[in-house]
Structure 1
């Protein structure tokens, strides 16, 4: 018995040293491939969560925080800090995760959860990847406003594929299909105040991104990851919008007053750029139909 104790002690020491050695391997810089592998993993967890985030999402957020902090290209400290905060939190949502990975999304070339990273690296290794949705670096949420620079859009069509392909025609048709699908439910919100979560049109330039139909669809699907009941409407169908050429995402919530709709935004911890009260109506004009926060 006495002779067994030293062997156990030696074994335990070896295990500790081995564990320390393994931990030491995870302290050096990481390249784009390692970073984006972690990014794509978190995106996969986000897409499969359907708004109900389990431990896998928080664990992946913590792993990506570590990778972002050690990324050899630098510049991702803000992502690392935000992701670490999320990994230690009790709850999160798609908006928080998208904002927390905005820098990483630029490096990997696609929004969180939409597409996968291409590893055909050139130069510094910051090659963008379209992930099947086109290349649009600098992806991020922008204020849901109608007063932004845009090009003359085309009216929506009635074509309706089930999923957007990598071309503009299919993405535009998918947006229209979503509007058609959501129309009945949107009509139940008519002449009521709703929280507006996003508003994009073709050619809109915001936060370094020029929105094409693929990017607009990506914006909607990212919003719906956070709020699965969110609805898409075409502003041209309603008289309460100043411009009739925007794809608008609203929460499936109605309120008797704009103040009550804005209170919902506050309760959801959404800032004034990403949530404000809007009256959806076929008869009310644009004046007085928006209540900024």
Structure 2
């Protein structure tokens, strides 16, 4: 797949551009791996009709736990992400042009809520974009109305129907006790939060905090795509000055390793159910 020239859109897109690996069919794209899960099979994937012989070189991944591209049959997998907002969101607009209708995002996050523990899974129902509030927004710059309006609403980023579907799936998989809905906040990183920052986020109503996901969701919502998001809770965020515990990256990776298969099973089943529902809708429309 060729590299497209840069534009104010954060990576350029030609509206006549159609990659050879996708023919406008409904696609699902998991935009990033859960941190540390790249080695155990849960990776970003674009469902398409045939493999791309030349995966794109869009991304430079500075974190070694974010794995790089590899091909796997009809799945075009991207293990990893860029830490630059414009680079990170560039693929989303390309996938929109490919015909992608639904974006599935996953991340690792620290828990600020008493009821969320390491190993739990949080279905994201809303987010707080801390970098966005400070002016770092992927929609900055000239707006292309072919993708979406200049001032898009963000009050329903995470599709209610997909969230309900996921909750049904958790019951079928007997993991309902591990899964709850909650609010996710993105911070800039790469350092973990100070105690004062953690307390502030908790008072704002944040259930889990991480360093990714929101830019992709903002651009996907701007493009009119459905979004479904999951956070794997990998650690408890320290909120007390009396607490001697300290989060460490190795512990985050270990929780990711232990829970990776559960998250992969949940994501796979949700996507399968989405495809079944879409096929039923298409059949009903054809009658």
Q: TM-score, with normalisation over the residues of structure 2?
A: 0.31
Which structure's relative contact order is higher, taking Cα pairs within 8 Å and 6+ residues apart?
A: 2
Q: TM-score, with normalisation over the residues of structure 1?
A: 0.31
- Determine which structure has the larger helix proportion and give its number: 1
